Amino acid sequence: MSTATFSRVGSWKIAPAGQLLAAEFDGQTVVYHTGAGHTHWVSPVAAEVLNCLNRGIHDEDGLYAALSELVSEEDMPMLAESLRETLDHLKKLSLIELA
């Protein structure tokens, strides 16, 4: 596992006003939030973040650690930025919110 750090500290949860459903097709994921009523084709990173939140991993350090298990060594330098962007994007889509 990488020893790189993730500087932002926060805790997230799936938007509570509904249920998050997911379907994976050929390694790509579609999610639907029953509360927001919208369907989205999300990136692999976003799918894993949502998966982690559903599994009870809520804090950003935990999310970073979980994702770092899945990415290759050469992708590690981009992981922190990718996670930040993903969290912001999922928040804009009303799929997640700060816990």
Name which position in 10, 39, 97, 99 contacts another protein (CB under 8 A). 39
Which among 9-17, 23-31, 49-57, 59-67 is the span making contact with another protein, rule CB under 8 A? 23-31
Residue 40 touching another protein (CB under 8 A) = yes
Rounded Cα gap, residues 33 and 80, in angstroms: 26
Name which position in 4, 10, 34, 55 contacts another protein (CB under 8 A). 34
Q: What is the amino acid identity at position 15?
A: A
Q: Quick count: other Cβ atoms within 10 Å of Cβ 86?
A: 22
Q: DSSP letter at 74?
A: G
**Residues near another protein, by CB under 8 A:** 19, 21, 23, 25-26, 28-30, 32, 34, 37, 39-41
